[in-house]
């Protein structure tokens, strides 16, 4: 699959001019920003915040009862959402006071087995929000600084940073469209994305700037390596996603591992976006930059 993809991408990159190469991912980026911007305008956050950032209580346990029956049974507490995957029910509650919280926990732990509880105070959630935002910004700035230190030229460095930014923006837009909430796991995934996305960009930029040969040849070779890298990672992530999300289809009592499932799905979106951003956006900008400056450097 990787080989076919590389071949197709390679011939596409060779046949298109730089402007067209850059235009496609930029259009997707703008579209993504619009989606997240719309969500931001309507809800006040660029992506739906999960329980860890909103505050509330999540209780999951094993039961044969239906979601409707459970929703009815616990409607007295500020029940927000009831879901059922296999034999596991997941109840989501809004913030409540300490006493009713303890009561609820006692009632559920004494009645059901394989209980998982997670409770985050609304205030703490607010604090986590700010911290996550700061972490994301600092990570991005740190990454950008390292990239500039490595290449020491403005255009190639900017291209790397722009495509990393685009990866994150598209991943967030996807989260909005598919309905993945922002949790600690997904924040981790977005941070991982910074690391993964820069890998292939650095490979591409180094090969094109520091190797002999025509830009197209260098790009082709880099693409061969880079697409393999991304597809191996994607393969691992798809497997991780399937195991952590759909195991209950095999044994219905098995729980989903939300943290891993969240990380995997966001990284899958992000790395798919990275394929486009590295080999169209970054490549387009880089090729334009090299062709613009080569004639002057070419030796007679």
Question: Does 129 participate in binding other proteins (rule CB under 8 A)?
Answer: no
Question: Does 161 participate in binding other proteins (rule CB under 8 A)?
Answer: no
Q: For other proteins, which stretch binds (CB under 8 A), given 41-49, 70-78, 247-255, 275-283?
A: 247-255
Comparing CB distances to other proteins, the nearer of 39 and 227 is: 227
CA 89 to chain centroid, in Å, comes to: 26
In whole angstroms, what is the distance from residue 281 CA to residue 21 CA?
6
Provide, rounded to whole angstroms, the least separation between the CB of residue 137 and other proteins.
8
Strand partners, 58: 92, 118
In whole angstroms, what is the distance from residue 56 CA to residue 66 CA?
22
Residue entry with tokens 């044994």:
251
Comparing CB distances to other proteins, the nearer of 240 and 281 is: 240
Provide, rounded to whole angstroms, the least separation between the CB of residue 102 and other proteins.
6
| Pick from 121, 137, 130, 133: nearest CA to 52 | 121
Question: Does 195 participate in binding other proteins (rule CB under 8 A)?
Answer: yes
In whole angstroms, what is the distance from residue 218 CA to residue 202 CA?
13
Instruction: Determine phi and psi for 210, rounding to 5 degrees.
Output: -110, 5
Question: Does 78 participate in binding other proteins (rule CB under 8 A)?
Answer: no
Question: Does 5 participate in binding other proteins (rule CB under 8 A)?
Answer: no
Q: For other proteins, which stretch binds (CB under 8 A), given 40-48, 68-76, 182-190, 286-294?
A: 182-190
How many residues sit close enough to other proteins to count as binding (CB under 8 A)?
74
Answer for the pair 119, 56: CB distance below 8 angstroms, yes or no. yes
Interacting residue with other proteins among 5, 23, 71, 117 (CB under 8 A): 117
């Amino acid at each position: 699959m990787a080989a076919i993809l590389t071949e197709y991408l390679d011939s596409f990159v060779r046949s298109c001019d730089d402007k067209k190469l850059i235009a496609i991912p930029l259009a997707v980026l703008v579209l993504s920003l619009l989606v997240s911007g719309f969500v931001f305008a309507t809800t006040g956050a660029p992506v739906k915040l999960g329980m860890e950032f909103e505050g509330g209580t999540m209780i999951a346990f094993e039961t044969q009862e239906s979601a409707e029956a459970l929703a009815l049974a616990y409607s007295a507490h500020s029940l927000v959402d009831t879901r059922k995957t296999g034999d596991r029910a997941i109840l989501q509650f809004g913030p409540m006071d300490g006493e009713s919280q303890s009561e609820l926990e006692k009632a559920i732990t004494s009645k059901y087995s394989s209980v998982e509880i997670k409770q985050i105070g609304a205030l703490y959630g607010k604090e986590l929000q700010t911290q996550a935002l700061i972490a994301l910004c600092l990570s991005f700035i740190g990454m950008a600084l390292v990239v500039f230190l490595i290449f020491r030229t403005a255009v190639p460095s900017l291209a790397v940073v722009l495509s990393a930014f685009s990866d994150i923006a598209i991943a967030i837009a996807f989260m909005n469209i598919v309905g993945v909430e922002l949790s600690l796991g997904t924040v981790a995934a977005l941070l991982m994305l910074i690391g993964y996305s820069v890998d292939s960009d650095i490979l591409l930029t180094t090969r094109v700037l520091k190797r002999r040969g025509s830009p197209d040849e260098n790009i082709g070779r880099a693409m061969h390596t880079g697409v393999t890298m991304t597809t191996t990672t994607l393969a691992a992530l798809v497997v991780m996603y399937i195991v952590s999300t759909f195991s209950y289809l095999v044994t219905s009592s098995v729980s989903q591992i939300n943290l891993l499932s969240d990380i995997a799905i966001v990284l899958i979106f992000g790395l798919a976006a990275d394929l486009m951003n590295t080999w169209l956006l970054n490549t387009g900008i880089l090729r334009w930059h090299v062709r613009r400056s080569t004639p002057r450097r070419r030796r007679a």
